[in-house]
């Protein structure tokens, strides 16, 4: 069964439900879809590692003010601030 056939089959089955069954199935399906989305990390490994490192530094009290971050960012990536 290809994806079009699967979607059509699902649509037909959903379309045949009464309102109370539809609401139950809807809530379960949304829960499954949300879980599947949460389990997929949109972050590549390097970015995830960098974020984890930053979070650990923050927990250790190694934080910077917004102004300090902006100053260092402008120095390092001046081409982004034109």
Distances (CA, A) of 22 to 3, 8, 35, 37, 56: 22, 16, 20, 22, 45
pLDDT one-digit tens code per residue, 37-82: 666 666 778 888 888 998 899 889 998 889 999 999 999 998 888 7
pLDDT one-digit tens code per residue, 25-46: 998 888 888 876 666 666 778 8
pTM over 0.75: no
Helix H or strand E encompassing 47: helix 45-59
Range of the domain at 48: 1-61
71 vs 54: CA distance, rounded Å: 18
Domain for residue 80, yes or no? no
Instruction: Calculate the CA dihedral of residues 2, 8, 12, 14 and round it to 10 degrees.
Output: 90
Average pLDDT over residues 12-27: 91
Domain for residue 69, yes or no? no
Tally of domains within the chain: 1
52 vs 55: CA distance, rounded Å: 5
Q: Both tokens of residue 26?
A: 């809807």
Domain for residue 9, yes or no? yes
């Amino acid at each position: 069964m290809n994806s079009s056939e699967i979607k059509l089959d699902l649509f037909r089955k959903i379309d045949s439900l009464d309102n109370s069954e539809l609401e139950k199935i809807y809530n379960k399906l949304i829960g499954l879809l949300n879980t599947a989305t949460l389990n997929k990390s949109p972050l590549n490994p390097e970015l995830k590692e960098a974020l984890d490192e930053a979070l650990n530094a923050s927990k250790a009290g190694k934080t910077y003010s917004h102004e300090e971050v902006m100053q260092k960012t402008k120095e390092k990536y001046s081409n982004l601030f034109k």
